[in-house]
Amino acid sequence: MLSLRCIMTTLPMTAALSATHLAALQLPPALRRLYIARDGDTAGEIATARLADRARDAGIEALVLSSRCGDFNDDLRRFGIDSFRADLRTQLAPGDFSRFAFAE
């Protein structure tokens, strides 16, 4: 989440350190769109699918953010902030990048 915070400085975020913590996440009733930063391992994929299903069942749009290397920190370190920013921009809903991102 800290790597994403480098770009999306005003987007509210929370980190779940395990699939169990992610399953316990309470979705706020006013939430309309949820970005899920997916880990590239099997547990991360399963947890992401479950959270996305829960969100959709609650009427929340769920969008999954994926890294190239399987970890956003690895992406940031390997490709640099400009490439990381460009990758992230393509995964967000229209208008959200300019709304939540640190100025380029």
The tens digit of pLDDT for each residue in 64-91 reads: 999 999 789 999 999 999 999 999 999 9
Q: Is the residue at 53 inside a domain?
A: yes
Total number of domains constituting the chain: 1
Residue 97: left (phi > 0), alpha (psi -120 to 50), or beta? alpha
The answer to the question of residue 27 being in a domain is no
Residues of the chain where predicted confidence (pLDDT) is lower than 50: none
Is residue 104 domain-resident? no
d(CA 19, CA 50): 10
pTM of the model: 0.89
Which residue segment(s) compose the domain that 46 sits in?
A: 2-8+33-99
Q: What is the DSSP letter of 97?
A: H
